[in-house]
Structure formats: structure tokens, C-alpha cells
A and B are shown apart, each in its own frame.
Chain A
């Protein structure tokens, strides 16, 4: 509680602003920041570009830019092919659908043809049956005719004369 005086003439104050403390703090921060920058300069974030490497880096960048351009044109070409192939795929699908429809029609036609063939066969069988019947009738008529001639000749020999 006594009023002790410091060398500057004012009373002691525990947290009085001090240039010495400020300079010490500043130097501490400077050292720490210097260490951080030196350490992190090996990392990409703080890496400073070296002049001797500038030309090679620029050439690499140029090559990369050209390759990038090529890649972009290739990508455009691939896109174009993709679009073309998509339209072709659509056309092929349409053709496939048409073929499916034609196949269905052919199937139906084939069924009808088979039915027609069946009916033609039946007609043919009926015709041949009738032909056989006619042949039989012709044969029988021939027999009858032959018998009639025999009868006629017999009558001519033994019958009444005019």
C-alpha cells in the first residue's frame, strides 16, 4: 500500500504497456512465422517459384495446354460418335421392330399356307378317289361292253336269221 516510486518516477503498475515486452513478443512471432514459412515452403501452398525452373515449368505448362486441347477435341469427337451411334442404334432398333412385324406376318401367312396345302391335299385326294372311281366305272363299262359284244356275237351265230 505504500507509494513506492519506480526509476521513471511513476508508481509501479503490473500491466503497464511496455515497449520491451512488445519487441520481445514481436521477435517471438517473427521467429515462429519464419519457421512456419521455411517449413511449409517445401509444401505446395508456400512454395515460391524458382526462376531457374520457370522456363521448364512454362514448357511443361505449354505441353500440358496442348495436350489439354487435344483431349478436348478428342472428347468432342467421342461425343459426336456417341450421338451418331445413338441415332444408328435407334435406326437398327426400328429395323428390328419392322423385322419382328414382318416375321409375325410371315408366320401368319405360313400358317394360312399350311392350311391351304392341307385343303389342296384333301381336294387332290378326293380327285384321285374320284379318278379311281371313274377308272373302275370305265373298267366296268369296258367289261359290260365286252360282254355286250359277246352277247351280240352269240346272238349273231345262234339267233333267228332275218
Chain B
């Protein structure tokens, strides 16, 4: 990346470079699609079959998280119980001194373990929300992100204001944009219908984007699962070690 710039990089530098790379990639994709001989009937049929095949594959992609909800749910419960446990410790902490020394040390170890687990659950939840904010970098692409027929980010203009406060001016502006975007959308779809290369590009584009999104989902899921696995096992073991070492 460094060799692209000779000065301190700004966002506009990155945007300009990204636009260049995007145009180059688009050209490459167009070249690949033009390998179908569209001047012949056979070539056109081959391209149509390609579009259908890609469309089927796109529809059959599995892009749902498998165990993120379980990890997040467990963390929510741990966080809730952990906070309740901290409240109990604050309320009944003074009574611990009444227990026998061995049971005092066990209670302290349990408190340490609960503190660790609560911190882990809190970190996993925060990390989950950080992930949620960063799994769509292709939304910043100008031409090869989401294909316009498939996702509103490319179908609608980016200047829409999704404001819950409904004013007269706001309603008018929203409907003005709606009509403008609808006109453009209709033109784009009709153009696409007359241009099989463009249609194939859109299908290919969305199919690939969903695969990338699947990658984000799966890898982020693995991140969460690994953070929880390593951290919770480490918390158990370290609490036991500290118990034998310092508390008993």
C-alpha cells in the first residue's frame, strides 16, 4: 500500500485509489464476460444459462450465522447473573467472615471466577457490536459493491435521511427522492434487461459479495467463539491456580 503514496495518506487519497482499482477490476470482469460470443445465438444462450446458474447459486448460499446467537445469548445471561452476583457479594460480603476458612477461600475463588466470566461476557458482547459495525466494507465501493437490483444501498441514493421525525418538508423530500430513485431504478432495470452482459455482471457481483459477506459472518463467528472458549477456560484454570496459590 505504501508505494501508492509519497505523502501522508488521507481519505480522499484512498478513495481515489479505490476508484482506480475498482475501474480496473470492472474492466477485467467485463473482459471475462465478453468471452461469451454474443454475436451468435449459441453464445447468447450460454450467457443466459450462466446467468441462471449464478442466480441459483446465489439464492442457495447459506448466509445465516450458525452459533453467534448462542454465544451472544450465553454472554447476556452470564452478564446478567454476574451483575446480580456482584450485588449479592456487596449485600452479604460481611457474612463471608462467619464461614470456615476453607469455605471462605472457596467463596473467594467463586467470586474471582464470576468476575472473570462477567468481564469476558462483557468483552464478547462489546466485540460483537464492534463486528456488527465493520462487516460491510464493500458498501464504500462505487461500482462493484452491492448490485443495484438487489440491495437498497445501491438502489437508492445515499442522501436519503431516515429520520423518524416526520415533518411536512421531510415527507416531501422523501417522496421527491423516492420518485427520482424509482425513475432511475426503472431505467436501470430496463437497460439491464437489454444488456445481458450487465445482467451477468450484476448477478456475478451480488453472488461474490454474498460469499464475502458469508466469510465475514463465519470468521466473526469464529472470533467470538474463540474469544469465549480461550477466555472462559483460562478464567477457570487461573481461578483454580490462584485459589491453591494464594487463597487456601
Contacts and interface: CB of A to CB of B under 8 A. Distances in A.
Interface of A: 14-15, 17, 21-22, 25-26, 28-30, 32-34, 36-38, 41, 44-46, 48-49
A44 B241 contact: no
Interface string B79-100: 0000000000100011011000
Contact of B108 (A26, A28, A34, A45): A45
B242 A30 contact: yes
B219 to A, nearest CB: 6
Contacts of A41: 246
A30 B96 CA distance: 24
B220 to A, nearest CB: 10
B231 interface: yes
Interface stretch (B44-52, B110-118, B166-174, B179-187): B110-118
Contacts, number: 61
10 contacts: A14-B222, A22-B233, A26-B233, A26-B238, A29-B116, A33-B116, A33-B242, A34-B246, A37-B247, A44-B93
Interface of B: 89, 93-94, 96-97, 101, 108, 111-112, 115-116, 219, 222-223, 225-226, 230-231, 233-235, 237-239, 241-242, 246-247
Contacts of A15: 219, 222-223, 225-226
Contacts of A38: 246
Contact of B242 (A28, A34, A44): A34
Contact of A45 (B96, B222, B231, B242): B96
